[in-house]
Amino acid sequence: MQTPATSPVETVAPRMPSAPAHPLPPGACDSHTHVFGPYDRFPFVTPSSYPPPLAPYELHREMLDRIGAQRGVLVQPAPYGTNASALTDALRRSDGRLRGIAVATGEITDADFSLLHEAGVRGLRFNEMIDYGTGKPYQGSVGADQLRLLASRMKDQGWHAQIWASCADCVRLSREFADDELPLVFEHMSAFSVERGPADSAFQDLLALLREGLIWVKLSLCRVSKARPDYLDLRPFHDLLVEANASCLLWASDWPFVRMGEMSPDVGHLADLFYSWVGDAEIAHRILVENPAELYGFENERASGT
C-alpha cells in the first residue's frame, strides 16, 4: 500500500442531509459513500484534483443516521491511492455496519488481500474516466488494465469489481471479463449520455446485460445530471434500469459529493426521489436491503443503527 504523503491545507464542509419524508426500511444501505480525514491521521498520497472535504468516520456515521440507513458502503477516493488506512479504520470502527471497496494494483500481496478482507473490504475499484481538468486519468486511480491481473484472486476471495466508466466502456468491459465470472458493478448508473437519450445503442446494450443478470448498476444520480434537485432528465433511464432487473441494482448517494460545491444534493431528498420513482415497496426493499446484503455479505451481520 502507498505511504501517505500530502495533507490538504483547506477543506470544505460536506452538505449534511435532511431526514427522508419516506423512512428507509430496516437494513437499508447507501451503497456508495466516502470518508475523508481527519487529515492529520489520514493524509492523501497524491494531490487532490478537487477541494477536499472533511468527512471523517464520525460525520459519515451521522449522515447515515440522519437518513435512517443502517448500512453503508465506503468507496476509496482517488487521492488516497492504494492506501486504505482511512477506509479500513472506518470499517473496523463500524461494528459490521459498513463494507468497503478498496483500490489495488496487481502488486498487492496475499497478506494485504487478507487484511483488507478482514477489515470488511468486499471489492476493488477501477476507474476508466478522465479528469477533464488534466485530460488524464485521475491521480491515484487504478485503471481496468489492473483488473486483468487481479480478477482470479478477487474471485477466489469472493470479491467483485466496481468500475467507473462511460456506458460504452461498461459494455466493453462486461464482454471482456465475461469468462472470469467476476461480478462487475458499474457506478453512477453506468455514466450514460443523457443527451443521446435512452435509445442510445450503448445504453440499450447495457440494459440487455442487466436483464441477463450479468452486471450490477448503482442508482446514483448526481454524477450523470446537473438538473438538481429532482433530476427529471434521468427518470426515463432510471425506470428502464429498474424494469430491466431490479435484482441487480443498488441505491447510492455518492456523499460527500466531491467537486460539486453548491450543486451537492440532499441525500434525504435523493432517497425520496428513489421511492417516488420506483413506486413499489417490494422492489424498493430489494434494491435498498436485499441486494446489498447479498453483494456485500451483510446477511449474517447485525445491522447497527448506532
Residues tagged active-site = 254
Strands 130-131 and 121-127: unpaired
β-pair partners for 136: 131
Cα 278 from Cα 164, distance rounded (Å) = 24
Residues contacting residue 33 through CB under 8 Å, at least 6 positions apart: 60, 63, 64, 72, 73, 74, 75, 252, 253, 254, 255, 256
Distances (CA, A) of 40 to 8, 44, 54, 206: 9, 10, 11, 42
Q: Any idea of the CA torsion for 281, 66, 72, 207, to the nearest 10 degrees?
A: 40
Cα 30 from Cα 13, distance rounded (Å) = 20
